[in-house]
């Protein structure tokens, strides 16, 4: 009975990875057949090309991962009298959808990837007994979808690292190589200072008022401090340096180790995002004319009309997230474009949008040059994140433990 989640997870992961690599499409019936049925009843269009190049039985295969995940945890919860466990499959599904759709609306991946994350989340809402590295909150609450998502992102770092360096060396782009390691290095130090300030302020509050922050409250406090210090950057740096100096004065060696570990981890993430940025601009993006655009192509920019003028925005999702965090401005995540003509949504271009772009180019309102994304299937990464989550545990929590010297 306990093998149900991993069995269905493997079946779902293999089939969705195969279709994603082969065609770039995810079939709802390979994850959540009920959603596929609802789609047919409501007349949602899957597109006629979605099964090109696949054996005939593959698009018709039914894998009820979500349904079984919900019923499996419902049975376990009712058998043990645990209401939260009984509802955990459904809670995991909802949380997975929320996380997945957040990344979808940021343009980071397709709606099919959100469905896959929701499917894995319904199967694994709690940390399984097979996982040895587990964050406390995922053991008590059905929040393991966070682990699955973070594992999926972190686990592909070595592949991105090696592939990007191979491209850089082959193209002799040594200026880009230097930028990967040095660009935004100051920001990395600043974020480390802000995190240490959050830790130090918790210590100071405990020493003065005897109030200890733990669990979810410690996370809320940390996020609030980083938000405030990031909002007033120069003042935040001064406060961060002052709190770090206080921590080093009270407990020099342990605090120095914590800060250096934190800085090393943040620098690693900085290199990761620099590599992602390089891949996005130099590897996974190409500049084409409107005549080369095809239906289902994914733009690397947003074309919009505002105040009677046709404009374009080539800011990527990661840059928007960074700007939103640094400026404490959530509106930066979803700019006000006015009327969007075509965007970087992972669902791709429609025929009508291509025709309008052609018309705008012919009228001289738009330059005949467009950024087009090269497809990068994310289903295999989600599958890898699920396997790591089941057999090993939480990579991000392991990193936190290493930062703390545990």
List the CATH number of the domain containing 73.
Answer: 1.20.120
What pLDDT sits at residue 174?
83
CA–CA dist 199, 213 (Å, integer): 10
21 and 127 in a single domain? The answer is: yes
Which residue in the block uniquely carries the two structure tokens 């994350």? 117
Number of domains composing the chain: 3
Please give the model's pTM, rounded to 2 decimal places. 0.72
271 and 314 in a single domain? The answer is: no
Cα-Cα-Cα-Cα dihedral of 196, 202, 207, 213, to 10°? -150
pLDDT tens track of the chain, all 406 residues?
789 999 999 999 999 999 988 887 889 999 999 998 988 887 765 444 445 678 888 888 999 999 999 999 999 999 999 999 999 999 999 999 999 888 777 666 777 889 999 999 999 999 999 999 999 888 889 999 999 999 998 888 788 778 777 878 888 888 888 888 888 888 889 988 988 888 888 888 888 888 777 767 777 888 888 888 888 888 888 998 998 898 888 888 888 888 888 888 888 888 877 877 777 677 777 889 999 998 878 888 889 998 889 999 887 766 766 667 666 666 666 778 889 998 877 667 888 999 999 999 999 999 999 988 776 788 999 999 999 999 999 998 998 787 666 6
106 and 68 in a single domain? The answer is: yes
Domain that holds residue 48: 4-155+378-403
110 and 178 in a single domain? The answer is: no
138 and 215 in a single domain? The answer is: no
What pLDDT sits at residue 125?
96
268 and 167 in a single domain? The answer is: yes
127 and 25 in a single domain? The answer is: yes
What pLDDT sits at residue 72?
96
What pLDDT sits at residue 49?
46
Give 182-220 as a DSSP string. HTTHHHHHHHHHHHHHHHHHHHHHHHHH-PPP-THHHHH
CA–CA dist 312, 366 (Å, integer): 9
Q: How far apart are the first and last CA of the chain?
A: 34
275 and 361 in a single domain? The answer is: no
366 and 384 in a single domain? The answer is: no
What pLDDT sits at residue 70?
97
20 and 147 in a single domain? The answer is: yes
133 and 10 in a single domain? The answer is: yes
278 and 169 in a single domain? The answer is: yes
């Amino acid at each position: 009975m306990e093998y149900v989640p991993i069995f269905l997870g493997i079946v779902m992961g293999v089939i969705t990875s195969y279709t994603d690599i082969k065609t770039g499409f995810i079939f709802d019936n390979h994850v959540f057949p009920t959603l596929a049925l609802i789609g047919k009843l409501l007349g949602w269009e899957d597109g006629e090309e979605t099964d090109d190049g696949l054996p005939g039985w593959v698009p018709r295969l039914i894998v009820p991962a979500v349904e079984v995940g919900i019923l499996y945890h419902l049975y376990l919860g009712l058998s043990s009298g645990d209401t939260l466990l009984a509802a955990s499959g459904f809670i995991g599904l909802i949380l997975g959808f929320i996380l997945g759709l957040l990344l979808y609306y940021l343009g980071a991946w397709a709606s099919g990837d959100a469905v896959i994350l929701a499917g894995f989340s319904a199967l694994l809402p709690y940390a399984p007994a097979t996982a040895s590295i587990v964050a406390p909150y995922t053991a008590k609450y059905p929040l393991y979808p966070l682990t699955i998502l973070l594992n999926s992102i972190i686990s592909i770092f070595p592949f991105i690292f090696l592939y990007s360096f191979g491209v850089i060396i082959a193209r002799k782009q040594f200026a880009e190589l230097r930028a990967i390691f040095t660009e935004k290095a100051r920001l990395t130090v600043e974020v480390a200072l802000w995190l240490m300030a959050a830790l130090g302020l918790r210590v100071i509050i405990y020493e003065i008022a005897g109030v200890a922050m733990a669990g979810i409250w410690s996370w809320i406090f940390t996020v609030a401090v980083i938000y405030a210090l990031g909002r007033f950057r120069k003042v935040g740096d001064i406060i961060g340096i002052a709190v770090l100096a206080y921590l080093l004065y009270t407990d020099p060696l342990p605090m120095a180790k914590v800060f250096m570990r934190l800085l090393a981890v943040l620098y690693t993430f900085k290199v990761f995002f620099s590599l992602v940025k390089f891949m996005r601009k130099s590897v996974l993006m190409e500049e084409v004319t409107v005549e080369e655009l095809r239906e289902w192509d994914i733009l690397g920019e947003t074309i919009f009309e505002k105040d009677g003028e046709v404009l374009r925005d080539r800011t990527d999702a990661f840059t928007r997230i960074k700007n939103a965090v640094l400026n404490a401005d959530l509106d930066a995540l979803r700019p006000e474009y006015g009327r969007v003509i075509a965007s970087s949504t992972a669902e791709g271009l429609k025929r009508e949008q291509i025709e309008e772009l052609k018309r705008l180019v012919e009228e001289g309102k738009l330059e005949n040059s467009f950024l087009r994304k090269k497809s990068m299937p994310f289903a295999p990464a989600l599958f890898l994140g699920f396997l790591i989550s089941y057999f090993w545990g939480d990579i991000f929590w392991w990193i936190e433990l290493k930062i703390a010297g545990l």
